[in-house]
Chain A
């Protein structure tokens, strides 16, 4: 079990941090968030091109660099700290992980779709359906398939070039299957949603007789691929949450050493200091869990299901609590639009719910612990 970064991972973190500090400082994050743009296209082009990050966990045979999920976690942590509006999570994590996991289920399609995602020229989007929510339906039509129904919330759904959709295949040999829908497909309507977090655009996707390519046929293979992809997404999102948590704590610790009230730095009051100490304890635990979960993703797949549920159940809520307290401890200035605190608060709440509310992760954890 490895719970500390390797020198190479530390170097990767340092270069991503330096890149984001130079190209996507908070002023730029704000400008993109308040524009109609879904993300910073220039930063994304360079993230995928110069840094080669879009294909980090994609095997070399499919145009990626074949690095590990621990490396993806390092990148997510930096993106989470910098609050970068980027399709990295949607495309390089959620969609890419699913395609790689489907692997043999859809060898030809994977070979066709992954290189574009790995190079960043294709932005793909995928949302894991909520447990119990109705799925779009799929029917055989001609040589292919058509989809009908709705995906209620899809990260980068309005702007992606390629949408991966879980649908219920009707008829003989039916069941839960995975499909790919092209951006220009007929009968596809995408409605941008109003999101609390302005840095993560989401859309409702309506499908009406929309042609789609079958990627994963109903059966155990597809079910396993979906489960693994959700676990990997849980780890990656937790890493992003860790990055935000750490940045929030750094920022408020610095402010508590600058702001003076009642003739004292506010950080010298125990009412403030003890809260910050608890936030630091939360950070130490969250970091340990994220490192562990990322390690299982690469090195101990049998531990991943528990570790992934643990990561979301612990880190999601922890990151929001720290973001909330960091905002509150700023006092009134933290409630203003001009201050960055609300951007972190909103990201933390959005991410806490992105893969389902806390009760879903806790229920998943209970099940996997054999309770």
Chain B
């Protein structure tokens, strides 16, 4: 048995006792308590440096733990953005003071973090953001609005990018900050999405004062940091999604079709075959990329392939489910998982980069195709049209 096998075995043993009986969706206090327990056991921050509360181990151990944890849904969802995106960003470009202050509390569930990049006028084109931070000689003063912010209601801190110099081209005048979400100038409003639930929030900033030591990275150097953070997001959205999370899976749908006596219908059978092909192709590609990572081949921008295909599988799965099962999918007694899947499906193709943006990334970075001429790279931000301004100005 290798050391790694042994590590995985011990992790599994701990999960069986330590995670037993913990509901996957407990209240916030219980989630925080579980994180502290996870950290005490040495399974929070497996790859993070020991001086900041991590275990100083490698990606192989992290993978072994994740694999073991697949069978145990852990109540850590609310910490996902902090641990998966904000923490790694601070680790790579944060100041020593920022790392010492935040990383250990992040690992112990004492701090919840959110990420605030998107704005109403800056979706796919995040670099055209308009939230402004102006230095008044003492502090940065933040004004503006963010949108699509997960866990903003629970968050203690947020990683935010804001416009700090409108007189230079848009990518060059952005700065990243740590924002105290408990500041009285921060207002969080739940955003009710098309599922009828508020998975996300809008966040408004009204003269929020930010101390200079809360700048992450260089002043006006926030864009490259944001790109790194977003790459973490793309990989984490696509990779490691298990089939059980898909309400419109081939297994679930073929069982439902059999129960309803639909398998004698050759068209229904062929719809199921079509879904199987798409699902199996996705699963096998996901498995192959995992094997490549283990063999030392990094996926890089190919994570966008996984993200795009998962989005298409999610949309097509819900659509196929409705074609196979018919009107029951959309008019039913009680809560309907298929109607839920139909309402949820577009989110996968929009969050973390739209399908069109994924295709641009695959074309530019995986295939190395010539880039589109970019008219907004050299113009000062002040002179650019942003969001729907162009249309509005013409009306």
Interface set of A (CB-CB < 8 Å, partner B): 1-4, 253, 256-257, 264-265, 267-270, 273-274, 276-278, 280-281, 284-289, 291-292, 310, 313-314, 362, 365-366, 369-371
Stretch of B28-36, B113-121, B208-216, B272-280 contacting A (4+ beta carbons < 8 Å): B272-280
State in angstroms the CA–CA spacing of A289 and B282 once bound together: 9
Interface set of B (CB-CB < 8 Å, partner A): 254, 257, 263, 269-270, 272-273, 276-277, 280-282, 284-285, 287-288, 291-292, 295, 302, 305, 308-309, 356, 358-360, 362-364, 366-373
State in angstroms the CA–CA spacing of A2 and B292 once bound together: 10
Contacting residue for B269 out of A273, A291, A371, CB 8 A: A371
Q: Which residues of B contact A362 (CB under 8 A)?
A: 270, 273
By beta carbon, the residue of chain A nearest B281 is A285
Q: Which residues of A contact B295 (CB under 8 A)?
A: 4
State in angstroms the CA–CA spacing of A101 and B369 once bound together: 46
Q: Which residues of A contact B358 (CB under 8 A)?
A: 277
Contacting residue for B292 out of A4, A253, A257, A278, CB 8 A: A4
A2 close to B291 (CB less than 8 A): yes
Q: Which residues of A contact B292 (CB under 8 A)?
A: 4
A371 close to B263 (CB less than 8 A): yes
A3 close to B291 (CB less than 8 A): yes
B370 close to A264 (CB less than 8 A): yes
A274 close to B356 (CB less than 8 A): yes
Contacting residue for B370 out of A267, A289, A291, CB 8 A: A267
Interface centre among B257, B270, B277 (most CB of A within 10 A): B277
Q: Which residues of A contact B280 (CB under 8 A)?
A: 289, 310, 314
Contacting residue for A274 out of B272, B284, B302, B359, CB 8 A: B359
Q: Which residues of A contact B360 (CB under 8 A)?
A: 270, 273-274, 277
A280 close to B373 (CB less than 8 A): no
B369 close to A257 (CB less than 8 A): yes
A268 close to B302 (CB less than 8 A): no
Interface centre among A2, A3, A256, A265 (most CB of B within 10 A): A3
By beta carbon, the residue of chain B nearest A263 is B373
By beta carbon, the residue of chain B nearest A278 is B359
Q: Which 4 A-B pairs have the closest CB atoms?
A: A273-B363, A277-B362, A285-B281, A3-B288
Q: Which residues of A contact B373 (CB under 8 A)?
A: 264, 268
Interface of B is mostly: helix
Smallest distance from the beta carbon of B188 to chain A beta carbons, Å? 36
Smallest distance from the beta carbon of A184 to chain B beta carbons, Å? 45
B305 close to A281 (CB less than 8 A): yes
Q: Which residues of A contact B362 (CB under 8 A)?
A: 277, 280-281
By beta carbon, the residue of chain A nearest B276 is A369
State in angstroms the CA–CA spacing of A285 and B308 once bound together: 12
State in angstroms the CA–CA spacing of A257 and B369 once bound together: 6
B273 close to A277 (CB less than 8 A): no
B370 close to A265 (CB less than 8 A): yes
A253 close to B369 (CB less than 8 A): yes
Contacting residue for A267 out of B273, B285, B308, B363, CB 8 A: B363
Q: 21 A–B contact pairs at CB < 8 A? A: A2-B291, A4-B292, A253-B369, A257-B370, A268-B371, A276-B369, A277-B358, A277-B360, A277-B366, A285-B282, A286-B281, A289-B280, A291-B284, A310-B276, A310-B277, A313-B273, A314-B277, A314-B280, A314-B281, A366-B270, A366-B272
Smallest distance from the beta carbon of B294 to chain A beta carbons, Å? 9
Smallest distance from the beta carbon of A337 to chain B beta carbons, Å? 28
State in angstroms the CA–CA spacing of A287 and B286 once bound together: 12
By beta carbon, the residue of chain B nearest A364 is B273
Smallest distance from the beta carbon of B321 to chain A beta carbons, Å? 15
Smallest distance from the beta carbon of B329 to chain A beta carbons, Å? 19
Q: Which residues of A contact B370 (CB under 8 A)?
A: 256-257, 264-265, 267-268
Q: Which residues of A contact B269 (CB under 8 A)?
A: 366, 371
Smallest distance from the beta carbon of B69 to chain A beta carbons, Å? 21
Q: Which residues of A contact B309 (CB under 8 A)?
A: 281, 285
Interface centre among B257, B284, B359, B371 (most CB of A within 10 A): B284
Known: A257-B368, A371-B272; 12 extra A-B contacts, CB below 8 A, are A2-B291, A3-B291, A4-B288, A4-B291, A256-B369, A273-B359, A274-B360, A276-B367, A277-B359, A281-B308, A362-B273, A365-B276
By beta carbon, the residue of chain B nearest A309 is B273
State in angstroms the CA–CA spacing of A280 and B304 once bound together: 11
State in angstroms the CA–CA spacing of A257 and B309 once bound together: 25
Q: Which residues of B contact A264 (CB under 8 A)?
A: 370, 373
Smallest distance from the beta carbon of B276 to chain A beta carbons, Å? 6
Q: Which residues of B contact A284 (CB under 8 A)?
A: 285, 302, 305
State in angstroms the CA–CA spacing of A270 and B374 once bound together: 13
Smallest distance from the beta carbon of B60 to chain A beta carbons, Å? 17
By beta carbon, the residue of chain A nearest B284 is A288
State in angstroms the CA–CA spacing of A2 and B287 once bound together: 9
B367 close to A365 (CB less than 8 A): no
State in angstroms the CA–CA spacing of A264 and B364 once bound together: 15
State in angstroms the CA–CA spacing of A292 and B291 once bound together: 12
A371 close to B372 (CB less than 8 A): no
A287 close to B288 (CB less than 8 A): yes
A288 close to B285 (CB less than 8 A): yes
Contacting residue for B281 out of A256, A289, A370, CB 8 A: A289
Knowing A273-B360, A366-B272, A371-B272, the reply to whether A313 touches B284 (Cβ < 8 A) is no
Knowing A277-B363, A313-B273, the reply to whether A268 touches B372 (Cβ < 8 A) is yes
Q: Which residues of A contact B364 (CB under 8 A)?
A: 273
Contacting residue for B254 out of A277, A280, A292, A369, CB 8 A: A369
Smallest distance from the beta carbon of A353 to chain B beta carbons, Å? 18
State in angstroms the CA–CA spacing of A288 and B280 once bound together: 10
State in angstroms the CA–CA spacing of A281 and B304 once bound together: 10
Smallest distance from the beta carbon of A79 to chain B beta carbons, Å? 23
State in angstroms the CA–CA spacing of A253 and B367 once bound together: 7
State in angstroms the CA–CA spacing of A268 and B363 once bound together: 9
Q: Which residues of B contact A289 (CB under 8 A)?
A: 280-281, 284
B288 close to A273 (CB less than 8 A): no
Q: Which residues of B contact A274 (CB under 8 A)?
A: 356, 359-360, 363
